[in-house]
Amino acid sequence: MRPLTEDETKVVFEKLANYIGRSITHLIDRPDDPHVFRLQKDRVYYMSEKVMRFATSIGRSELMSLGVCLGKFTKTGKFRLHVTAVDVLSQYARFKVWIKPNGEMSYLYGNNILKAHVGKMSDDIPEHTGVVVFAMNDIPLGFGVTAKSTSDARRLDPTGIVVFRQGDIGEYLREEDTLFT
């Protein structure tokens, strides 16, 4: 477990900024309990400093997971968010999409969100921007990237794709064998 390098931090913050915008400062500057980002193998974890200090007494080979896994670096150096980051993203989300109950199961099975399934959307969402997906009762279900802006989505036919799925909580079951390996 080590701190992120400057380049790694830049890549992670750019990805997070796509979903939470300037609220990224709230992740670091928490007055109640300071938090840090750490790299274990190729995965980036977000944890309190207190937990990080306790973890220094555990060997690297014995440490499997620590804090909240935000995502991992691919072999090409890109950063990919994991579904485990949905709780962190949902707290500070800049743009949100709520889906109707009839579209929840389709989304949780790994499909994109269609216009017919959208209950409501944040105003003025640009095209190709990160959004956090919620159920109508404000339970975070996942995150994705908009296919159309809010104004274009209103004119779309019911079978048109509004949000491309990036991660959903159904992955906990679909990928339970490989999620933390």
pLDDT of residue 180: 67
Q: Are 18 and 129 in contact (CB under 8 A)?
A: yes
Same domain? For 110 and 135 the reply is yes
Mean pLDDT within 18-47: 89
- Give the tens place of pLDDT for each residue, 37-73: 999 888 999 999 888 888 888 887 787 788 899 999 9
Do both 78 and 99 map to the same domain? Answer: no
Q: Examine the domain organization and report whether 58 and 102 are in the same domain.
A: no
Clarify whether residues 84 and 140 are in a common domain: no
**Which of 38, 56, 88 delimits the end of a domain?**
88
Asked if 126 and 151 count as a contact pair (C-beta separation under 8 A), the reply is no
Contacts of 8 (CB under 8 A, 6+ apart): 39, 44, 73, 79
Structure-token match 């990036």, residue found: 166
Residues 21, 43, single domain; the answer is yes
The residue segments making up the domain with residue 35 are: 2-88
Q: What DSSP string describes 22-67?
A: GGHHHHH--SSS-EEEEEETTEEEEEEHHHHHHHTTS-TTT----S
Residue 6 has pLDDT above 80, yes or no: yes
Average pLDDT (14-32) is 89
How far is Cα 171 from Cα 173, in angstroms, rounded to an integer? 5
Q: Say which CATH number the domain at 82 has.
A: 3.10.450.220
- The residue-averaged pLDDT of 136-161 equals 94
